[in-house]
Chains A and B, each alone.
Chain A
Amino acid sequence: MSESVVQLDKQQSGGSSQPLVRVDNLKKYFPITGGVFQRRVGDVKAVDGVSFAINRGESFGLVGESGCGKSTIGRTLLRLNDKTDGTVTFDGQDLHKLSKSDLRNMRTKMQIVFQDPFSSLNPRIKVGEAIGEALIDHGLASRKDVKNRVIETMKICGLAEYHYDRFPHEFSGGQRQRIGIARALIMNPEFIVADEPVSALDVSIQAQIINLLSDLQREKQLTYLFISHDLSVVEHLCNRVGVMYLGTMMEMAPTDELFSNPLHPYTKALMSAIPIPDPTLKRERIVLQGDIPSPANPPSGCKFHTRCPMAADICKQQVPEYRNVGNEHFVACHFA
């Protein structure tokens, strides 16, 4: 058992109820093939040994920049793709060991809102029908009832009734994202993986959807894995937050703790990079140099060392231990 799993046990032992979702040392590698025979020449380590748990009714936020593995965790967690290693437990059951039919039943309880809903919408199906599709597929509503429920859900998501008969290409990016949210909400799930659900929305609509998601959570005891690159949105909506970089969890803490006392240099840099809507503010910003390295060839030691303003020799050689520093606050840095 890896170090982080042991720590997770300690972290959870204080709580009374079992977490709804539990991810232990999860790994997901995507093979890179090359050469004439398309042999495997390496791996993209999209998720490289990540552990966390989400309690019932909790909203767990996952932040980090593009390519750090957030979406892959979300998809692997729902078994929308295979894992490479580790386990995912949902409601006490090992998800990647379920039979196809058990998985199908489980699926109604777990929904995903995609980052790019357009790619998951059939261009020739009216969006109203697309939103109601899964209800009919799973025999959860009659054709007659479906339309009313679809329209009700569309309105909740900021769409109008006249949109029911329109086709996906007639909507703006923002409107398409709302269609994606409606599709998940209509199933009345227990758990929703929301992958950047508000990133494509305008501020005025974003606030509506964030409020909606938090209302639903309270009313229906929903549990969220909320994936976002926007720390301010995550701060608002989540109880706990994990910060990822190149497939690795760098820091994890309850929201208030993380935002008042960020310990990892990457978390600090991310926070300082967010533009704040106050023109009188003069901040000393930490501007990270360089680009995010490729996850196919991550830096040795601490994966952040190539961009870290605090990096020392040890960082290039030794992977920093992911450890609990108290207050349920975990961090992986030699100097935190």
Chain B
Amino acid sequence: MAKELVEFRNLETHFKTSAGTVKAVNDVSFSIREGETLCVVGESGCGKSVTAMSLMQLIESPPGKIVGGEIIFEGKDLLKLSKKDMSRLRGNEIAMIFQEPMSSLNPVFTIGKQITEPLLYHLGMTQKEAKARAIELITMVGIPRPEKIYDSYPHELSGGMRQRIMIAIALSCNPKLLIADEPTTALDVTIQAQILDLMRDIKGKMNTAIMMITHDLGVVAEMADFVVVMYAGKVIEEAPVLELFKNPQHPYTQGLLKAKPVINQRQERLYSIPGQVPNPVDLGDNCHFHDRCEFCMEICKAKTPPLRTHADGHKTACWLYEEEGKAQ
């Protein structure tokens, strides 16, 4: 197996709200290996974006704060870096693209200015070198007439083109890790297919590790080497992609896979997980899925199940797979 590039160790990121503390990321540990595409999947609000933003150290504070854990990147704990060192890493070794490319592009600057900026700042290129590289990048992400696009403004481009530009900016400094937070959620399916193709292509060429956040199990199946499933601030299962789809262990993962309508596999009735995601404020010491789980036992309501390896490379946090649970 490839070398570890990033390791989240017991990460805790909390938000103080008027209703109480939201433990958005609650003791999260997992690793991303070099050149690997890791998908983080889970419902909205489960902590996917906050995990990524913690890695980037872009958590809005207040109300948010990383209150515990370590994020090891190439042997160094990012949480111990100075602001200056962190901003040198950001956009350079670690780059990020978001769901809504319009909001992350600056409307008043040309595309060219926005692509060349990290090249000038991080790589110290001259204006001329940066422009040549920018044109190359625009071509690489599959946009025709790069010279014209270089002088355009964001609003002149379609959503799909803007996302391509975001990818171009993210890749401009050859990052070791690309974080993509729902990069295709706002796009039409035919455009999504283009962007996913592009990302696969790039990964093949540049050997960039990708941390891809999505709620779409179809996208996971297509893109991931390895999958992390989150629920209410915790990792509840992780496994290589083939293993996870073949042998999902956690009742929530099993439910998710059954609940998705799949084209050309019409069912009389969709399986649905009852209930809803718990209120994120002041979650207790228990399995956060317990009130929706058909296998719930007494211990599930009283104690948090540990995330443990139960098969090769496959970890699950569920009492069903623990001696203490089996005894019940």
Contact = CB atoms under 8 A, between A and B. Distances in A.
Given A236-B270, A291-B158, A275 B196 contact: yes
Given A287-B194, A288-B190, A207 B272 contact: yes
A138 B44 CA distance: 36
Contacts of B260: 203, 207, 232, 277
B220 A277 contact: yes
B272 A273 contact: no
Interface string A189-225: 0000000000000111111101100100000000000
Interface string A240-280: 00000000000000011001000000000111111111111
Nearest to A170: B19
A276 B261 contact: no
Contact of A273 (B189, B274, B277): B189
A123 interface: no
Contacts of A205: 43, 276
A206 B218 contact: no
B263 interface: yes
Contacts of B257: 277
Contacts of A275: 192, 196, 216, 218-219, 221-222
A121 interface: no
Interface in A107-131: none
A235 B266 contact: yes
A269 B255 CA distance: 29
B120 interface: no
B262 A229 contact: no
B197 interface: yes
A223 to B, nearest CB: 20
A285 interface: yes
Interface residues of B, number: 46
Contact of B221 (A66, A210, A279, A307): A279
Contact of A202 (B44, B193, B224, B264): B44
Interface string B263-293: 1101101111110110000000000000000
A233 interface: yes
Contacts of B43: 174, 202-205
Contact of B270 (A172, A207, A287, A307): A207
A279 to B, nearest CB: 4
A207 B271 contact: yes
A255 B160 CA distance: 29
A235 B45 contact: no
A204 B256 contact: yes
A210 B263 contact: no
B25 to A, nearest CB: 17
B215 interface: yes
Nearest to B43: A202
A279 B256 contact: no
B270 A259 contact: no
B221 A281 contact: yes
Interface string B28-62: 00000000000000011100000000000000000
A231 interface: yes
A279 B247 CA distance: 12
Nearest to B189: A273
Contacts of A65: 188-191
Contacts of A287: 190, 193-194, 197
Contacts of B161: 291
A93 to B, nearest CB: 35
A276 B261 CA distance: 10
A208 B270 CA distance: 8
B302 interface: no
Interface string B121-141: 000000000000000000000
A112 to B, nearest CB: 22
Contacts of A279: 220-222, 224, 241-242, 245
A292 B44 contact: no
A15 to B, nearest CB: 23
Contact of B262 (A172, A276, A291): A276
A179 to B, nearest CB: 13
B262 A204 contact: no
A204 B46 CA distance: 13
B273 A204 contact: yes
Contacts of B276: 158-160, 205
B194 A172 contact: no
B217 interface: yes
Interface of B: 43-45, 158, 160-161, 188-194, 196-197, 215-222, 224, 241-242, 245, 255-257, 259-264, 266-267, 269-274, 276-277
Given A277-B217, A277-B245, A288-B194, 9 more contacts: A204-B43, A204-B256, A207-B260, A235-B263, A275-B196, A275-B218, A277-B220, A279-B221, A287-B194
Listed from nearest, the 6 A-B pairs whose CB atoms lie closest are: A275-B218, A207-B272, A202-B43, A65-B188, A207-B259, A277-B217
8 contacts: A173-B44, A202-B44, A202-B277, A204-B43, A211-B272, A236-B267, A273-B192, A276-B262
